[in-house]
Structures are given as structure tokens and as C-alpha cells.
Amino acid sequence: MKFKNSFLKLFVLILLAFFIGCHQVFKKQEVISMIDQSQDPKEVFVYNNDLYISYYYSGVYFFLSGHLPKEGKTNKKYKYLDVEVVKKLETEIPASQKREVVLVKGVLERVVKEVSNELAPRKAGNGYLLLTDYKDVVVYRDFNGKIVIAAPGDIPKEIEMVKKVKNTVIRELAQKHFLSILKAEYPNKRRLLVEVSQIPQVPYLFLDMKTGYMAAVRIPDLYELQKDVSPVGISVGMVYSFFIKSNFIGIIKAPVTSAHIVLAGSDAFIKNIFSPKVRNLKTDFVPLYEGDEMMDLESFNKFLDRNTRKEIYKARTTLLIGGEEFFAHFIKAAGNARSSIDIRLYIFKVDPYSLSLADILKNKSNEGVETRVLVDEINTVINLMKAPKMPHEPDYVMPKIKKYMTEDSSVKFRTHPNILGIVDHTKVIIIDDKLAYTGGMNFGEEYRYKWHDLMIALEGPIVQKLKNNFNHSWTFSGLGGDLGTGAVIANEECDECFKNNYDTDMIDVRPLYTKPSRPDILKAQLEAIKRSKKRIYIQNAYFSDNRIVKELIMARRRGVDVRVILPSENDIGLMHSNNKVKANIMLRNNIRVYFYPTMSHIKAAIYDNWACIGSANFDKLSLFVNGEMNFGIDDAAFVQELNERLFEKDFADSEEIIEPFELTTADYILAALSLQA
């Protein structure tokens, strides 16, 4: 019997409740009393395609009732079966019309034991990271040979993380053992209600062994989301973060930087006012260039040396596409860290998954690993306004990230001030000064499970450069401000002291930045578009800059194969309208436009034989003002891997638009506003 893949994801979540447990804090105490697992339901049956679970409470019979889908009508949305409390049936149901449902107890505990034994490492002291669709856990064998399952942040330092197990493997094993037990013990029963004792919101699983329908019986609104701070506290925090900490104290600490931001912002505003008009551009069809010639990389690199900075470092690269690849890589590396962990992010959210990452950092800091976390100031407050989208345990309380990180740990935590509203959008993680990550991902549940994004792991001399950059930002965000940062720069190790210490298999990588008055990322990519002869492939979530759109149109007129991937979902409504407007313009000029099926947060491009990936969006803030970092890479093998693993796959997975979108006046207004965002 095969059950739908969407439900198996939820099934593994339920198993995880047994792996690491739940506490029980309830909102509807009366309902909980009615479904108290210490007493079985009085009766379970199906009538007229409705499931009924009856209880006896305070001298009265109650029912949980939910509507089942008709046979042949099941689909992904039925992974939950929502029930309501019915205190009295309108009419008595004849026994002859009730369809039997068998109550099954104790099966999930047995499944957990079987799956754990099968997945556990054989060697004492080794741990495996289990990747599921809702939570990551670790199974390890301690030095007494005992199998232990725990959250990644609770692993003893003596345990070495040696392997990751993908969610598909876990799902298949869980399904195999689950159905094997049910078929063996209930061979002639059609409808089963399997008890779940660990998740009060989901007290049962319902299975129809004939049709293959399987759903979690869910009581909606069982418990309220709790926060560590009141709405008034959030408002006060916003005022303090922006006006006092960032734009009073921040300006006093950093007068030079503040003046620079004012000049750069004014320059960017003027440039955007006079940005090229592209709305009415239209191009007749031009055949694609059929030759093999691509841009002259030697000439292009000389341009970059002159117009950006001559910063080229050696690195060993690992492309990490998707949250599963990146976070598995990071959790293993962080778990094995011995000296230092430095985290520089735009957003460190406070959903349960992000807190599990915070627990890893706290645990390592208490083991003596120097752990520093640097995040955007205003987002530490905004995070408290965004409730988790994924299922969470009933005792979950949304905390303030700084308090959570520093409580009962030796983690050092700072926030980057938003002077005049500017943010540090860079994402860099450094472990033991040997391994670094950079790209588009922050720490949040959507980056792990929902969004399409990309990071790159780096080893070699480039890591020391990134460490220096981190130290600059760390000092700037503390009491030092401009003066402290200048002192750090004056005393740091020179580039030439570490640039030449590399292995022969390492490739050249060029860091490119956006800083006030330094739009290197924009300069590099505009020039790459102008020089491209054969192909331009771009994937970016926020595509508002008209300069880039115009140059792409000019490239297509030269016969270049220009393709752009945009997200079909967008976390910023303004940008979604803008993307539709830009898509119509590009389509009208023979540029192929694709919409990825979910939210794609990737910032990546291939211009002939040169790749550019990192944190920068194609909007004004990322290209002119905010702190951003991309990498330019011209290694043929890397470009080929990026093309095959990202672009070719995403072209196939996305929907290419053939007809223009029907746009409203609001879409055009929002697109115009996006030019200043």
C-alpha cells in the first residue's frame, strides 16, 4: 500500500515527537479532558463519509467529527483531517449504518524503535544527521553502545558527525515498518485509527487500508502562539532599534560612515530617477548566435581589476543548492568545530528550526568554542512579528533572539546598526577559520524547508579574507564604530601573507561588493552582460533595476540566448507586481522568462563562461547602498556545475511564460515604487 508523499512528510513529524518528546501546554482544557489518552474513546465509526470519535465526559457523550474525502477524490490537501467538537448528534445513528473503525495503540513507538535501530551508526562515538521535512535530529551511538536520538544542539562534543540521512530514506523506512505492523496485526480491517500520544494537536492518524487514504486527525486552534514580549514591547523595541541605537548612537559612533551613506544614498536616488526607460521597448525576433565563441575572460578580468578591486583569492568550492544541502553541511561542520564559529547574517529568525541552530551554537560556546553572532538590528525586532508557518510544539514561545542566544551560554552577540535605514545584507559563516559559507540564505525555517536558495562552501585563502571582513563588521557594530574598525584594519595580516598558501586543486574566486559609493556588483554584471556573446542565465527574486533589463534586451538583440528565472511566489508583494511587469517587457523583447513554482531566493547568474553568485538582489538597495557580497568565478568546471545543477534543472522545473500577464494599474504603480526599493 502506497500512501501520498505529502502525508509521509507529516508522518515523520509525528515520529519525531517520539524521538525527542513534547511538553504539553494546552488552550482548550475541556477538549483535552475529552480526549485524555488515559481513557480510550467509547466508540469510533464512519457514517455518511464522516469520522466520529466519541468520549464520555462529566456525564455527557461528546464527539470529535471530521469529513472524509470521497473515494478517488483524495489529494495533497488532505494530509490533515480537521475535526470539530460535537456535543450532541442531531439524530441517533443506527448501528447498522456505522462503519467499523479499529483503534490501534502503541504502533508508533514500535516504528520509532525499528527505524532508529536501522538508521543508527554501528560505531560508538559516531552520529548521523537525520534530515526530515519538518525537523533535523541526530541519532548517535554512545560509548556504551546505546543508541541515542537528540536535537543537534544537544550532542556531546565527543560525538563525531559522520553522515547525513536524507528525508526520502527516513520516509521509506518509516512507511515500511508502519504498514508492515498494521498489515500483520490487522489483516482484515479496512479503517484504522492509530493513537498518537505525544502531540495533543494531532491525537490520531486515520487510515483507510483499501483506498490508501491517510490523514492526521487535527484539532484546530488547540493552543495559542506565545511570545516572549508584548505588542507594546515590540513597538518600543522598533523605536529604540531604529531611532536611538541605529540613528543616534550609531551616527555618533560612525560619523564618517554616516556621511558616506548620505552621499551614496543621494547619488543612488538621482541615478534611479534617470535610469533608462524600458517599458515601451520592443524588439523584432533575432536568431540566436550559433557559434561557440564566448567573452574574452582575460580582457574582462582586466576590466574588473581596473573598475572594482583587484581581489582574487584561491578557494576550494562546494555548491550547496537548497536548504537540505546547506543546513546538513553546516550542522555537521558546526558540530565538529573546535576553535571558533563566526555567524554574520541579515536575519536570524526565532522559529523552532532556527532555535535548534541557535542551540548548536550555544552548545559549542559552552564547550569552549569562541562563538560570535552578528545580525541586522531592526530584524531582531521584526522577527517577533512573524509567526512560524510550520507546525510547532505546544510549549514553544517566540523569544528575543539575543536573550535566547546569550542565556546559559558563552555566545557573543551583536547587531549591525541600521544607520539611515541601511542594512548589512551579507551572509557569511566561518568555522575554525578553515571553512566559510556565503550566498543567499539566512537562518529561518523557510530557508530550510520552503524556499529555493543557494550557498557556497569555501576553503583556502579566501576564508582569511572573509574572516577579516567579519572582524571589520564585528568591531563596527560594537563600541568601536569607525575608529575601532580603522584600528582593526591597520593591524590585520596583509593579503599577501596568506594569499599564496593554497592547494593546487583550488580555483580563483573574486569577491565583489556593494557598499556606499561602491556598486561593484552592478558594475561587474552590467559589463558581463555587454560582453556576453552566447548565453545569459539569471535567477533573482527581486528584479527591479532598469539598467540590467535594458542591457539584457540589448544582448538579446545581438543574438545572445537570454533567460531569466523569477519566483512564482514572492515574500514582498511589491516585488511580485514588479516582476510581472518586467517579465512582460522581457517577453516582448524575445527574452525567455520562467517562473519557478515556489519562492526562489537565489541570486545567481551565468554570463557566457563567468558566474556570479551571492547575496545581492537586482534592486536599488542591493546594487547601490546596502552591504552585499557576491563572488565572480570563471572556472570552467564550476560554471558547468552551476549550469547543470541549478539552471538546467530549474528551467525544467519552472513554467516558461508564453503570453504576457494581464496587469492592473496597481501593478504598474507598485513596479514604479520598486525602482526606489
Supply the pLDDT for residue 265.
79
Burial status of residue 214 (CB atoms within 10 A of its CB: 0-12, 13-18, 19 or more): buried
Could you read off the pLDDT of 133-162 as tens digits, one per residue? 777 889 999 999 999 988 888 889 899 988
- 331 neighbors 161 (Cβ within 8 angstroms): yes
Q: Domains in the chain, start-ordered, CATH in brackets?
A: 5-108+170-222 (no CATH), 110-164 (no CATH), 232-271+323-451+461-501 (3.30.870.10), 509-674 (3.30.870.10)
Q: Mean pLDDT over residues 92-102, rounded?
A: 92
Name which of 226, 232, 137, 120 is nearest 173 in CA terms.
120
Instruction: Write the DSSP symbol of residue 149.
Output: E
What does the alpha-carbon distance between residue 25 and residue 34 come to, in Å, rounded to a whole number?
A: 16
Q: Which three cell numbers stand for residue 67?
A: 469529513
Q: Which three cell numbers stand for residue 228?
A: 516572549
Supply the pLDDT for residue 256.
93
386 against 466, higher pLDDT: 466
Mean pLDDT of the chain: 88
Helices 107-119, 167-185: inter-axial angle, 10-degree rounding: 140
Tell whether the model's pLDDT for residue 676 goes beyond 60: no
Least confident interval from 43-57, 335-349, 525-539, 646-660: 43-57
Torsion of the alpha carbons at 49, 50, 51 and 57, rounded to the nearest 10: -150
**Could you give the strand order of the β-sheet that contains 84-86, starting from the edge strand earlier in sequence?**
84-86, 60-67, 50-57, 43-47, 99-100
Supply the pLDDT for residue 76.
47
476 against 25, higher pLDDT: 476
Residue 195 neighbours by CB distance under 10 Å? 17
Least confident interval from 133-142, 286-295, 584-593: 133-142
Name which of 668, 526, 538 is nearest 592 in CA terms.
538
Q: Give SS3 for 633.
A: strand
Burial 535-569 (b: 16+ CB within 10 A, else e): bbbbbbbbbbbbbbbbbbbbbbeeebbbbbbbbee
What does the alpha-carbon distance between residue 226 and residue 74 come to, in Å, rounded to a whole number?
A: 34
Q: Mean pLDDT over residues 260-286, rounded?
A: 82
Could you read off the pLDDT of 606-631 as tens digits, one per residue? 999 999 999 999 998 899 889 999 99
Name which of 546, 464, 558 is nearest 511 in CA terms.
464
Name which of 534, 556, 559 is nearest 610 in CA terms.
534
The three-state (H, E, C) secondary structure of 249-288, written as one string: HHHHHCHHHHHHHHHHHHHHHHHHHCCCCCCCCCCCCCCC
- What is the H or E stretch that residue 404 is in? helix 401-406
Q: Give SS3 for 80.
A: strand
Q: Give SS3 for 537.
A: strand
Least confident interval from 350-354, 382-386, 616-620: 382-386
**For 368, how many CA atoms within 13 A lie in the half-sphere containing its CB?**
4
Tell whether the model's pLDDT for residue 459 goes beyond 50: yes
Contacts of 305 (CB under 8 A, 6+ apart): none
Output the DSSP codes for 319-385. EEESHHHHHHHHHHHHHT--SEEEEE-S-B--SHHHHHHHHHHHHHHHTT-EEEEEEEHHHHHHGGG
Q: Mean pLDDT over residues 546-571, rounded?
A: 95
- What is the H or E stretch that residue 439 is in? strand 435-439
Tell whether the model's pLDDT for residue 353 goes beyond 70: yes
Supply the pLDDT for residue 24.
37
Supply the pLDDT for residue 74.
56
> How much of the chain is in helix, strand and coil states, percent to nearest 5?
40, 25, 35
Q: Mean pLDDT over residues 337-349, rounded?
A: 97
Q: Give SS3 for 579.
A: helix
Supply the pLDDT for residue 23.
38
Q: Mean pLDDT over residues 240-249, rounded?
A: 92
pLDDT band at 200 (very low <50, low <70, confident <90, very high): low
What does the alpha-carbon distance between residue 80 and residue 218 come to, in Å, rounded to a whole number?
A: 6
The end-to-end CA distance of the chain, in Å, is 52
Tell whether the model's pLDDT for residue 464 goes beyond 60: yes
pLDDT band at 26 (very low <50, low <70, confident <90, very high): very low
**What are the strands, taking DSSP E only, across 28-173?**
43-47, 50-57, 60-67, 80-82, 84-86, 99-100, 102-104, 126-131, 136-141, 147-150, 160-165
Tell whether the model's pLDDT for residue 273 goes beyond 90: no
Supply the pLDDT for residue 82.
83
Beta bridge partners of 150: 138
What does the alpha-carbon distance between residue 341 and residue 403 come to, in Å, rounded to a whole number?
A: 19
Strand 60-67 to 50-57 pairing: antiparallel
What does the alpha-carbon distance between residue 582 and residue 279 come to, in Å, rounded to a whole number?
A: 8
Angle, alpha carbons 430-434-439 (nearest 5°): 40
Supply the pLDDT for residue 512.
98
